Structure 1
């Protein structure tokens, strides 16, 4: 760009005006309450909130430094027209970085700010802890760091995760904790939480390639099925992880999500998830493999076949579904026994024994603990995940009393832990 002495003041004024606007907006980011309330931030445990706020502070200060550097170039360009082009480029770079930072802060702010009421803050804080608990035994055995977790509520039908360590929208920034979305309809039946922590664990332990290889072996001789099933390995690994934590409850909850008549027999191009029909069938096969051929999973499979017969699938998909069902027991066994590299080649079941969440084991837990299971801090801390499994199992297998179990789970999940109650009372004193 060639700038005459007459044009230069107007151009520099324009750059200065633009920068003033974007830099003023950037400086508001220094206040964390610009994007999440103080109450919401206080509900986040220090181990989660501190690294989050530190990362956000770093991102914001780097953004402001970038803007101030652009300001210095603008000042130089007032007396040196040859610098106007550089100043203009610096302003444009700053604008683009602002959008990246804004996207990052908006995401994290929405996650923190989803804790909109006292009961919801308690429930999500309890889920933060359960999520960490679900990863601890495996990652400790594997010698891997255990990420902290921020659980947030949002709309939709399915959960999701932004893994700890993943790169954020801002160049050079990484997520210091795992952020897990749990949807409203499953807030008090949070088996999907363990599907998402399964993604984090699978990434840290390099489990997915092994699951993919075992699927290839189980489906040797049928190239079409191999191609179809191996593409689903990441989601299948996460389903296995949820099953090993909550047993049949995870299967029933999954079916409630995928059981839409318009989609359960469809295979959208590029969808990383198994066809909903097969995904449910695989969960039922997990249950039969681990718990026996008698149980509520048999009834669920029958109901799904009746409600959604394979004949309703697209003609080109029907043979793949039928052949998959012929191989479903082999597929289930392959997934459950796939070696985990970070566990010295042992399967995930070597750490997470499925027998612990069998109907018989959960019944024994219920009988041993009695009514205290739903009120005791001891049981909450030592058996929290199995309590989720028990409530989900009872809700699924006893439709007539499902509402009672849903309410019981909600009451349990919104019960404030004693240490948090003590801290709150001290802060209010």
Structure 2
């Protein structure tokens, strides 16, 4: 055997070894329990799990077909030396696709597998339903499909969303449902859930460009502020959405996230979120504009100013903060009245009335429903989002009894609807 032949055989043997390894690993992806437990998968409702599993099966089948094609090419290259480069390229392409699929499955597997206990499975399943309920009125009126939602728990301080319809790490694959991360410290005060569904709704209704234009118009006399605020339009729209659903509870919860002394007065380059100090002030202005000057938002503003006075900001940033505060009423008005193209130019408030989550309206809900508010399947279905708003409001405005309200919200969220029905019948 010649030196060239020996070298050729060594190359082919190596490619066969590589493809055998990566193909064997890829075939394990056919079992969904390789990356999430059967109990976790069962906790995901059919309309969420079925399209997810279908998309994952398609991704995996295409990956395996790509690997098997590479394996056949290697077999041909053993007989035809001229195909060796093509075989090498095929193996490299398969390796790269494997990593993309692995990343996709790992993300979805971690999301599903965060349902690690009966309590978490109940809480996250309830949040799945609340998320869909928060989008349905707007999207149905706009003639848009309402995405299903998979909520999962993870570490960190802030929530996030992988929107339905976005491209996944695998070429040609799209996310069939919206995946929303809820962080542990806010699991039982999930106002951030509605910030994330706001991102999905804003995308489907083309709200962000309109929000940007409305803010720009409100700040037309101050080009420097205009440039600063319009860059935040996407996150502002999501904050408005959370506020319209849960009122002041969303503002207090947001402040707990952004209220880090090291960052609340900083403006990181490229950050799409408003400066934490301004973001909180805007939420308080939403509350004052919709619910009146007097309310828990007033002491929150005073407390924020005392803890984090403007003079602690960088010298170049201070004038922008002060001028923004002076213009806050105009900014808030623009945000709340920004037209939504998919709603025929009407504002989001035409569908989601903020008065439904005013302190007075939530107190009336609490009074009229009585103790059954926290146990009745009817109230869970009809007023689930407002129950989140009520619990968050009471936690924020009554520090002495905050623990009681946190525990009440936890019990409510971790009880499956069918369990509630059974308890009431017994």
Same fold (TM over 0.5): yes
Alignment partners' CA distance in 2, 1:420 and 1:197: 27
Number of the residue aligned with 2:340: 340
Q: Deviations over 1:136-172 (max 9, x none)?
A: 0000000000000000000000000000000000000
Q: Is the 8 A contact 2:77 2:87 kept in 1?
A: yes
Q: SS of 1:179's equivalent?
A: strand
Q: SS of 2:5's equivalent?
A: coil
Number of the residue aligned with 1:227: 227
Residue 419 (structure 1) shift: 8.0
Residue 418 (structure 1) shift: 1.2
Alignment partners' CA distance in 1, 2:64 and 2:226: 51
Q: Is the 8 A contact 1:395 1:405 kept in 2?
A: yes
Number of the residue aligned with 1:425: none
Residue 421 (structure 1) shift: 8.4
Alignment partners' CA distance in 1, 2:295 and 2:375: 29
Q: Is the 8 A contact 2:376 2:420 kept in 1?
A: no
Number of the residue aligned with 2:215: 215
Gaps of 5+ in 1: 423-429
Q: Is the 8 A contact 1:5 1:81 kept in 2?
A: no
Number of the residue aligned with 1:376: 376
Alignment partners' CA distance in 1, 2:46 and 2:150: 11
Q: Is the 8 A contact 1:248 1:297 kept in 2?
A: yes
The residue correspondences of 1:192-341 to structure 2 (distance < 5 A) are: 192-341=192-341
Q: SS of 1:151's equivalent?
A: strand
Q: Is the 8 A contact 1:35 1:110 kept in 2?
A: yes
Number of the residue aligned with 2:63: 63
Q: Deviations over 1:272-302 (max 9, x none)?
A: 1000000000000000110011100001001
Residue 364 (structure 1) shift: 0.4
The residue correspondences of 1:45-60 to structure 2 (distance < 5 A) are: 45-60=45-60
Number of the residue aligned with 1:85: 85
Q: Is the 8 A contact 2:218 2:330 kept in 1?
A: yes
Q: Deviations over 1:44-97 (max 9, x none)?
A: 000000000000000000000000000010000111000010000000000000
Residue 414 (structure 1) shift: 0.5
Residue 420 (structure 1) shift: 10
Alignment partners' CA distance in 1, 2:37 and 2:154: 17
Q: SS of 1:190's equivalent?
A: coil
Alignment partners' CA distance in 2, 1:304 and 1:49: 43
Alignment partners' CA distance in 2, 1:146 and 1:4: 62
Q: Deviations over 1:289-330 (max 9, x none)?
A: 100111000010011001100000000000000000000000
Relative to the length of structure 2, the TM-score reads 0.98
Residue 182 (structure 1) shift: 0.1
Divergent runs of 4+, >6 A: 419-422
Alignment partners' CA distance in 1, 2:400 and 2:419: 36
Number of the residue aligned with 1:392: 392
Alignment partners' CA distance in 2, 1:393 and 1:417: 23
Q: Is the 8 A contact 2:377 2:420 kept in 1?
A: no
Number of the residue aligned with 2:29: 29
Alignment partners' CA distance in 1, 2:419 and 2:26: 37
Alignment partners' CA distance in 1, 2:419 and 2:314: 55
Q: SS of 1:389's equivalent?
A: helix
Gaps of 5+ in 2: none
Alignment partners' CA distance in 2, 1:390 and 1:221: 39
Q: CA RMSD in A?
A: 1.1
Residue 5 (structure 1) shift: 2.6
